[in-house]
Amino acid sequence: MLDWDKIKNRTAELYGEATLKARQYTPESFSKEKQFVNALVISLALMTMADKKAETDEVTAALELINEINEIKELDMTQDAIELYGIHIEDLEKVIGNNVKWTVTVAKLLSEIGRIKSHNEYPAMVKNLLDYMAEADGNFDETEKEMKEKILAVLS
């Protein structure tokens, strides 16, 4: 027989741990380089999930980018960036069925991306990576175009 109280407690515990993990990657005191990595990873996650599904080609392209970007390597944040990407993908997957929660989650992530626009060197880099991600699965559809435009709007 299932112990529902035990399951609820464990779920709450795991949720708390995940929340702490997410906060670890999004503190207010990030250096501009870490803000860039954060914005980049969020942009990759949003582009991956723009059509509300994580397709293998898009996830692979995002992970390859994370592994190849010098700024991430120089900060020794490759593993952290991969974990953060996974957290954002999971968070977006959880709210797919609820349009209000989806909109709120996307808005929160977009506001995080907007933090780098004061650092002139970074928005252009994110814009170039968006083009790569948009065509990673060979299909640049309308939802991906809309997400790209939203990201570009917060960077302008």
Which residues are within 8 A (CB) of 74 and not within 5 positions of it... i.e. 6 or more apart? 33
SS3 67: helix
Block means of pLDDT (10 residues each) for the chain, length 156 residues?
A: 73 73 56 85 92 87 89 87 93 92 94 86 83 74 89 90
CATH architecture of the domain formed by 31-155: Orthogonal Bundle (1.10)
Q: What's the CA dihedral at 67, 125, 127, 44 to 10 degrees?
A: 20
C-alpha span between 111 and 138 (Å, rounded): 28
Report how far apart the first and last C-alpha atoms of the chain are (Å, whole number): 56
C-alpha span between 67 and 36 (Å, rounded): 15
Which residues are within 8 A (CB) of 84 and not within 5 positions of it... i.e. 6 or more apart? 22, 25, 38, 41
Structure confidence at residue 133 (pLDDT): 78
Other CB atoms closer than 10 Å to residue 92's CB: what's the count? 21
Structure confidence at residue 34 (pLDDT): 84
For the chain, the domains span 31-155
C-alpha span between 122 and 66 (Å, rounded): 15
Structure confidence at residue 45 (pLDDT): 94
CA 37 to centroid of chain Cα atoms: 10
Q: What's the CA dihedral at 21, 33, 40, 57 to 10 degrees?
A: -90
